[in-house]
Amino acid sequence: MKKVLVVDDSLSVARQLEKIISESGDFTCVGHAKNGAEAIKMNHTENPDIICMDMNMPGMDGLTALRTLSVMDKEVKVVMVTSLGGVGDKFTEALKLGAKNVISKPFEADNVLRILREL
Partner 1 sequence: MAVKFFGQFLVEQGIVTNEALLEAINLQDKNNLKLGEMAVAMGLITPADIKRAHNAQMSKDMRLGDLLVEMGLLTLDQVSDVATRQKNTHLYIGEALVQIGALTTDGLQKQLDAFKADQAQYISSGIDLPITSPNSKIWEMTADLTYKMITRVLDLQFRPGKCTVATAISPSFMLAAMDLSGDVEARYLISVSESLQKSIAKAILSEPSVDNESAEVLEDTVMEFVNVVCGNVAAKASQMGVIMNINPPVTVHPPASGLPIPDGCTALIFPIHIGDGDTMEMILLIKG
Residues binding partner 1 (CB under 8 A): 9-13, 15-16, 19, 56-58, 82-89, 91-92, 95-96, 100-108, 111, 115, 118
Q: Which of 57, 50, 104, 107 is nearest to 79 (CA)?
A: 50
CA distance 109 to 96: 26
Residue closer to partner 1 (CB basis): 19 or 44 = 19
Q: In angstroms, what is the minimal distance from the CB of 50 to partner 1?
A: 15
User: What value, to the nearest 5°, has the Cα angle with vertex 71 and ends 53 and 106?
Assistant: 15
Half-sphere exposure of 107 (CA within 13 A, CB side): 25
Q: In angstroms, what is the minimal distance from the CB of 13 to partner 1?
A: 6
Q: In angstroms, what is the minimal distance from the CB of 75 to partner 1?
A: 18
CA distance 116 to 119: 6
